[in-house]
Amino acid sequence: QKEVEQNSGPLSVPEGAIASLNCTYSDRGSQSFFWYRQYSGKSPELIMFIYSNGDKEDGRFTAQLNKASQYVSLLIRDSQPSDSATYLCAVNRGSSNTGKLIFGQGTTLQVKP
Amino acid sequence: DTGVSQDPRHKITKRGQNVTFRCDPISEHNRLYWYRQTLGQGPEFLTYFQNEAQLEKSRLLSDRFSAERPKGSFSTLEIQRTEQGDSAMYLCASSLDEGQPQHFGDGTRLSIL
């Protein structure tokens, strides 16, 4: 079992729709959760982070965390073609005090005009 | 606020040669991380520094790899006797402290001929 799992996709949604990206993790002690967006050939760009159970909203983005289910998700409202990218889920395991991130393999999102 | 800076952006070299990459973190960020990313995968942790101290190295980091952060500011990653399998994107990230969001540089793409 991978430590952080994401469906590689591609996930295809029409412009204006809600895109839902999901991630599960295996270390129950994980404490910090991050979503990065990565365009082809570019480096990861931080878009959201969440530490507590529940929802966190920032503009069109909402991160949702459920520690009991070991599940974190990212919702993108009013999806735009410019949102087409790979979305990486990253977790800071609680058993590590280094802060190093464990990444999923990423989900490719395609927003079609 | 200047972001994380990496140099060079691209490096092409012959197998067996040594290469060195540089990373300048965001000023006042105490933690500096190196990751490696191959096509279709999420970044994988290599090593990290708290100020000038290298506090953890991944098993991925063979004896051919060495990293330094001599004055707690910029860092270098050296690969000796490069191999085909070293071809990847090498990413540097920095953060204020453990668990805080990590911000990535543009990366150095290494190609081994």
Q: Can you spell out the DSSP letters for B49-110?
A: EETTEEEEE-TT--TTEEEE-TTSS-EEEEE-S--GGG-EEEEEEEESSTTSPPEE---EEE
Q: Is A33 helix (H, G, I), strand (E, B) or coil?
A: strand
| pLDDT value of position B61 | 86
CB contact under 8 A, B42 and A34: no
CB contact under 8 A, A31 and B99: yes
Among A residues 47-66, those touching chain B with beta carbons less than 8 Å apart: 49, 51
Average pLDDT over all residues of chain B: 94
CB contact under 8 A, B106 and A51: no
With 0-12 / 13-18 / 19 or more C-beta atoms within 10 angstroms meaning exposed / middle / buried, residue B32 is buried
CA distance B15 to chain A (A): 23
For residues A21-35, give the mean pLDDT: 94
User: CA-CA distance, B39 to B33, in Å (whole number)?
Assistant: 20
pLDDT band at residue A95 under the 50/70/90 scheme? low
Given a cut of 90, whether residue B71 has pLDDT beyond it is no
| pLDDT value of position B98 | 80
Cα Rg for chain B, rounded, in angstroms? 13
CB contact under 8 A, A99 and B99: yes
| pLDDT value of position A99 | 82
Instruction: Give tens-digit pLDDT for B25-66.
Output: 999 899 999 999 999 999 999 999 999 999 899 988 889 999
Given a cut of 90, whether residue A89 has pLDDT beyond it is yes
| pLDDT value of position B32 | 96
User: CA-CA distance, B78 to B19, in Å (whole number)?
Assistant: 6
CA neighbor of A43 nearest in space, from B80, B88, B98: B88
For residues A57-73, give the mean pLDDT: 97
CA max distance for chain B: 38
Tell me how crowded residue A41 is: count the other CB atoms within 10 A of its CB: 8
% of chain B exceeding 70 in pLDDT = 99
Given a cut of 70, whether residue A96 has pLDDT beyond it is no
Given a cut of 90, whether residue A63 has pLDDT beyond it is yes
| pLDDT value of position B60 | 82
CB contact under 8 A, B43 and A51: no
CB contact under 8 A, A101 and B45: yes
Q: What residues contact B17, with CB distance under 8 A and at least 6 apart?
A: B81, B82
| pLDDT value of position A94 | 65
Q: Which residues does chain B have within 8 Å of residue A43's beta carbon, measured at their own beta carbons?
A: 89, 91, 104-107
% of chain B exceeding 90 in pLDDT = 87
Task: Select the residue from B98, B103, B106 to test the A interface by mutation, using most A Cβ atoms within 10 A.
Answer: B98
